[in-house]
Structure 1
Amino acid sequence: MLIRRIFCASILVFLFGCGDAAKTKPSADQQPPNILFILVDDLGKEWISSYGAEDIETPNIDALAKSGIKFNNVYSMPQCTPSRVTLLTGQYPFRHGWVNHWDVPRWGGSAHFDETENPTLVNELRRAGYKTCVAGKWQIDDFRVEPDALEKVGFDEYCMWTGYEAGIEASAERYWDPYVFTKEGSKSYPGAFGPDIFRDFIIDFLKENKENPMFVYYPMVLTHTPLVNTPDESANDNLGKHKAMVRYTDKIVGQLVDALKQNGLLENTLIVFTTDNGTTQSITGTYNGEKVKGGKSTTLEAGICEPFLVSWPGHIKADQESNALIDFTDVLPTFLDLAGVNSKDKWTDVNASHIIDGKSFAKVLLEGDEASQRKWILGMGGGNFARLTENGVENQYKFRDRVLRDQKFKLYIDSKGEPEKFFDVVNDPFERHDLKDSLNTPERKNSYNALLEVVLFFPKEDSDPRYKNNPVQDWDVKVTAESGTWKM
């Protein structure tokens, strides 16, 4: 790598300014908050009206924004698998290895999310006394092979679309006639709409466990393709179906908030609403006066800078807007912080042995942007640039391209670790004017050099997914590459 080393004190502050987790442990007479974490599938800011979307109204999501904090600078990863594993582990894809999308139920290859080889931070919430629940989409384990996969990563209760299980046509359905996995096994629900099943499961869980602190993870199947009609609306074209699905997403958000109210849980429930990546590229929306093509699978702002709303009525002042930097590694560390178990000496030895990249933003919620521990955030990964080798699933690139940004500027790094593009995303949010060859102000030069310096501290080669092989199955994809030799 031909990167200048800049070891001045200011750069070191920039690099290591993230510090230890915020100290926000609940007092002895205060129950830790319930946590409802809503993760929509494939939806960018251009489809949330409180962020400036002009082709849709999302009144319930907008009300959630009004009740708490609307964050502007939150990075996901560009696609399903890297985003979801990053959330579960608090690690960047270059560390946990799931850099690329790998659809475990469909492709198998003995791959799976292995709780013995990766951090499972939900387990720490359960050990802290939380009742835990997940409903919706998973796709990083095959429940035919590992029916206890969700319990092993920390969930007491679950109701999941299985993912498209190779060889089982019915399992392709997540919307109408959905194929759903629970403790009773997997089956189709003829005539039902999958999002309704997942919503009702969560509401029942809230009613049945309200005497305990609860962590509810709701990785929605909405608004991912296939684009479908909903119980409320029918449309004849894909854009119309997409809009119907967004409106149904908004409706479910309102129903969940109402359920919290009805059960006396709202005041002490932290609600986080976000999305796993940008909108599918076949859909274009109008956003702050601009036509925005869906950014899924890209590291454009439309692909990774997600809507991110946090409401906690008893604790967070309403109607706030924040420019604090957050990325998906930070989510579980923040939940653990608010639960009072932010310190590794309270964790299992397995979890404590792992590096956690994420930094708690709990103080930002309670004290404001000036309490942020973040100087930069990162997005990387996505696409199907992985193959099965004789040694397991491997990523194509030894060092995957990535983007880093600070409060104002965004730096693209290519797969050789070299700077590629540089944008002022405050004044140029649609990334039209590359400034890499125009570092003609101290502000630009300092930001460019500081972000470039961060890259020096990343591993020189990304990890591949870490797991002990599951048993070989008839539906596994074939080995198509020789370990190590095919990498770029």
Structure 2
Amino acid sequence: MNRSIFTFIYLVVMCCVGSFAADQTSAKKSKKARPNILIIFTDDQGYADLGCFGNKKNKTPRMDKLATEGTKFTSFYAQAVCGPSRSALLTGRYPKRSKGWSMPATEVTFAEIMKDAGYQTACVGKWDVSNRKAIIDRMPNAQGFDYYWGPLGANDGGRCIFHLNNEPDGETRDMGSLIRRYTDKTIDYLKNKRDPNKPFIFYLAHTMMHTIIDASPKFKGKSAGGLYGDVVEEFDYETGRLLDTLDELGLRENTIVIYTSDNGPWNQPEYYEKKKGHPKESIFWGESGPLRNGKGSPYEGGYRLPCIVRWPGKVPADRSSDAIFATIDFLPTFAKFSGASVPTDRTIDGIDQTELLLGKSEKGRDDFYFDGAGVRKGKWKFLDAEMKSSTYAEETGSAKTDRLFNLETDLGEKNNLAKQYPEVLSELKKLYQKIKKSK
């Protein structure tokens, strides 16, 4: 063979081999660089229960530190009650589509899309989207989670019945053991069950601080906030243990930690004056701070929750953002970070908030829909005269009329500006009806 031709062929082959090797190395680096995600989701925790969100009684040093290590979001929205809040978080779809407690098997969760992208997927805690029943095709394993341990429903009767994957795994009436038990299960997964060569997403959905609350002997009677304060402080301590585990395992730098809650606190007299089996003189409800009402209400106290996101070196530290952000945004945002594909055969209400999280933009969502009640756009919030509200959250003596609030100047929603700004009212009413009627 002519030497020049041989040399040419050799160079082409080596170039191809080198290019393939470079591509493989690049792919490996890209895959390795994909972040782990840890979602810490509490139950019925108020907007102002933590020190970093204004509480003066409860001592929450670990959560306060987490806020300085990451970004605190002050206009963050979940849903008004538990089941709808969970289906919205899992699917990126408003409850009018994802169906809350009755979430159908056909819904696609963030666990499903991330599992397809090569992630390990695990869930510990309250599921609450299979009508609190062991309906196999609507349980965590069928909805994308490789591993599950926890109760399928709430602890309303002071009892939790657990499942390990699809099988029953005992029960307890010791509500004071739950925070540590859930944390232990999460730590055990991180240390002993995950594949260290793959990225993971872990969804930790606490039962506390839901209704029949209790704290362990180490924390009971120790806070200035009564039994509820005891539970908040125990949650802070156990979350600290979990964060320390990330450090111990070398996972801190490449793990996005997200803390938030499912809805506002059960703080209405119509509920807590009845006690419903709670210990005498106990305080079992959280604080909404400057926000109006609480769980079950379309006012800010029902939907707006504390949120902290930490990703060292990526999410800006010691930052506070008032951009509109919501649990429905998690799925498309996770997809962007992980390389997963967002479903295209259905409406996804969430938006990719990567730029907001990384501090490259201060703009969040344009609007947010309050299920069957109203809509927020920018600083303005509209609530319909016939707004949907849980019975215990209804405000007696409140006139049935359209409401318009400027949340920049009136976070407590005290001043109805509907008559002063008829054009704004009309615009938001149209937006509300558009979203409400959409499929």
TM-score, structure 1 normalization = 0.71
Q: Please, which of 126, 141, 147 is the counterpart of residue 115 of structure 2?
A: 126
1:359-370 to structure 2, matched below 5 A, reads: 359-370=351-362
Trace 1:74-473 onto structure 2 (pairs within 5 A).
Answer: 74-98=76-100, 102=101, 112-116=102-106, 118-141=107-130, 142=132, 144-146=134-136, 149-163=139-153, 172-174=157-159, 178-183=160-165, 185-188=168-171, 193-208=177-192, 209=194, 210-235=196-221, 240-281=226-267, 282=272, 295-341=294-340, 343-344=341-342, 351-372=343-364, 374-380=365-371, 400=372, 402-415=373-386, 420-439=402-421, 447-460=424-437
Per-residue CA deviations over 1:97-137 (Å, capped at 9, x if unaligned) read 33xxx5xxxxxxxxx43222x22231001111111110110
Q: Which moved more, 1:150-159 or 1:48-57?
A: 48-57
Find the aligned partners of 2:82 and 2:48 in 1 and give their Cα distance: 19
SS in 1 for 2:346: coil
1:4-60 CA-to-partner distances (Å, cap 9, x unmatched) read xxxxxxxxxxxxxxxxxxxxx997365210000011100111211111122212111
Distance 1:239 1:262 in 2: 32
Q: Deviations over 1:202-251 (max 9, x none)?
A: 11111232321010001111111102232323349996111111111111
Amino acid in structure 2 at the alignment position of 1:251: Y
For residues 315 and 242 of structure 1, what CA distance do their matches in structure 2 show? Answer: 34
1:11 paired residue number: none
CA 1:317–1:144: 2 relative to 1, 3 Å: closer
- 1:394 is matched with which residue? none
| CA distance in structure 2 between the aligned counterparts of 1:83 and 1:327, rounded to whole angstroms | 10
Instruction: Output the amino acid matched with 2:381.
Output: K
Q: Is the 8 A contact 1:327 1:378 kept in 2?
A: no
Cα deviation 1:172-215 (Å, max 9, x = unaligned): 545xxx53211453313587812222111111111232321010
Shift of 1:352: 3.3
For residue 367 of structure 1, give the secondary structure of its aligned residue in structure 2: coil
Q: Distance in 1 between matches of 2:169 and 2:92?
A: 30
User: Is the Cα contact below 8 Å between 1:420 and 1:436 reproduced in 2?
Assistant: yes
Q: Is the 8 A contact 1:233 1:244 kept in 2?
A: yes
Q: Call closer, same or farther: CA 1:212–1:423 in 2, change over 3 Å.
A: same
Q: Which has the higher contact order (CA 8 A, sep 6+)?
A: 1
Per-residue CA distance 1:258-316 (angstroms, 9 max, x = gap): 0100000010000110000001123666676x6x7760110111111110110001322
Task: Please say if residues 49 and 55 of structure 2, whose CA atoms lie closer than 8 Å, have aligned partners that are also in contact.
Answer: yes
SS of 1:47's partner is coil
Q: Would the alpha carbon gap of residues 146 and 379 (structure 1) be closer, same or farther in structure 2, given more than 3 Å must change?
A: same
Alpha-carbon separation, structure 2, partners of 1:27 and 1:454: 44
Please identify the structure whose Cα radius of gyration is greater.
Answer: 2
Alignment gaps of 5+ in structure 2: 1-26, 273-283, 389-399
Aligned residue for 1:106? none
Displacement of 1:419: 7.4
- Counterpart of 2:151, as a letter, is W
**In angstroms, what is the RMSD of aligned CA positions?**
3.0
Q: Is the Cα contact below 8 Å between 1:75 and 1:326 reproduced in 2?
A: yes
Residue in 2 that maps onto 1:68: 70
Please report how far the alpha carbon of residue 162 of structure 1 lies from its aligned counterpart in structure 2 after TM superposition.
3.6
Gaps of 5+ in 1: 1-24, 103-111, 166-170, 345-350, 381-399, 440-444, 464-488
Instruction: Select the structure that is richer in helix.
Output: 2
Residues 126 and 153 in structure 2, CA contact (< 8 A), matched pair in contact too: yes
- Name the amino acid aligned to 1:217: Y
CA contact (8 A) 2:374 2:387 kept: no
| TM-fit CA distance, 1:356 | 0.8
Rounded Cα–Cα distance in structure 2 between residues aligned with 1:186 and 1:138: 15
Partners of 1:69 and 1:37 lie apart in 2 by 15
Within 1, Cα distance between the matches of 2:158 and 2:120?
Answer: 29
Contact 2:179/2:206, CA 8 A, preserved across alignment: yes
Q: In the aligned structure 1, how far is the partner of 2:136 from the partner of 2:123?
A: 16
> Displacement of 1:96 after TM fit?
2.5
Assess, with a 3 A threshold, how the Cα gap between structure 1 residues 309 and 164 changes in structure 2: closer, same or farther. closer
SS in 2 for 1:222: coil
Which secondary structure does the structure 1 equivalent of 2:108 belong to? coil
Q: Distance in 1 between matches of 2:329 and 2:104?
A: 21
Give the Cα–Cα distance (whole angstroms) in 1 for the partners of residues 172 and 429 of structure 2. Answer: 52
Q: Once the 2 structures are TM-superposed, how far is the Cα of residue 425 of structure 1 from its aligned partner?
A: 1.5
Who is 1:4 aligned against? none
Change (3 A) 1:427 1:416: closer
Amino acid at match of 1:263: L
- How many pairs does the alignment contain? 382
1:122/1:90 CA distance change after superposition, 3 Å: same
Q: Could you say which residue in structure 1 is the equivalent of 2:5? A: none
Change (3 A) 1:158 1:298: same
Percent identical pairs in the alignment equals 29
| Contact 1:223 1:249 survives alignment (8 Å) | no
Q: Distance in 1 between matches of 2:358 and 2:220?
A: 43
